[in-house]
């Protein structure tokens, strides 16, 4: 299946010069959704994670069904101030300023293998910050999985040494 036909390109969103790869059209297509989750499951199962960590918010949409299929737990990586118990935080650079991601300190059992999932990797800053969070929990990185990779931005160079899977490259 050619998933690119199900992803909608929106020029100049959220600001001029950005070509936004809109996955809502893929999510709404029953065959495309099934194919995406099945393919991610096939490509990620050999990584043998104990948990899938999904990055708010589009990482939740793909990470949760993937965790279900792999028979492992799901852990949400959230924007600041959303998680109720004690958290680890990691900051990352935006074009202007910084942002932060958080995870519950007790989210993973010690020494577990964690697979990080997001819809898309662009510059890699978001996924790299999530990897720093996993390091703080003393767990091991099983790898990274993305539906879309924007290869020209070389985001994978920002990530620590672990397997990286992407279903579609632009």
The residues annotated as belonging to the active site are: 58, 95
Least Å from the CB of residue 57 to ligand AMP: 8
Residue 165 backbone phi and psi in degrees, to 5 = -115, 135
Reduced to 3 states (helix: H, G, I; strand: E, B; else coil), residue 134 is helix
Query: What does the block give as tokens for 118?
Result: 């997001």
Least Å from the CB of residue 110 to ligand AMP: 28
Name the strand (E) or helix (H) holding 147: strand 140-149
| Interacting residues with ligand AMP (CB under 6 A) | 18-21, 55, 58, 118-126, 155
CB closer to ligand AMP out of 70 and 122: 122
Q: Are 76 and 140 in contact (CB under 8 A)?
A: no
Least Å from the CB of residue 152 to ligand AMP: 11
Q: Cα 64 to the chain's mean position, in Å? A: 11
CB closer to ligand AMP out of 76 and 125: 125
Residue 167: Cβ within 10 Å count: 17
CB closer to ligand AMP out of 44 and 112: 44
Least Å from the CB of residue 153 to ligand AMP: 7
CB closer to ligand AMP out of 47 and 55: 55
Query: Which position has the token pair 């999904």?
Result: 54
């Amino acid at each position: 299946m050619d998933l690119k036909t199900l992803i909608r390109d929106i020029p100049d969103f959220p600001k001029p010069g950005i070509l936004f790869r809109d996955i809502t059209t893929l999510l709404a297509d029953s065959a495309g959704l099934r194919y995406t989750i099945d393919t991610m499951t096939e490509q990620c199962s050999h990584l043998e994670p104990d948990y899938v960590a999904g990055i708010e918010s589009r990482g939740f949409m793909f990470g949760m069904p993937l965790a279900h299929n792999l028979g492992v737990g799901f852990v949400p990586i959230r924007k600041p101030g959303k998680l109720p118990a004690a958290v680890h935080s990691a900051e990352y650079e935006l074009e202007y300023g910084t942002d932060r991601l958080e995870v519950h300190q007790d989210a993973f059992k010690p020494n577990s293998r964690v697979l990080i999932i997001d819809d898309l990797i662009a510059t890699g800053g978001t996924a790299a910050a999530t990897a720093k969070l996993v390091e703080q929990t003393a767990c091991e990185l099983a790898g990274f999985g993305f539906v879309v990779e924007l290869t020209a931005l070389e985001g994978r160079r920002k990530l620590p040494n672990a397997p990286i899977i992407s279903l579609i490259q632009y």
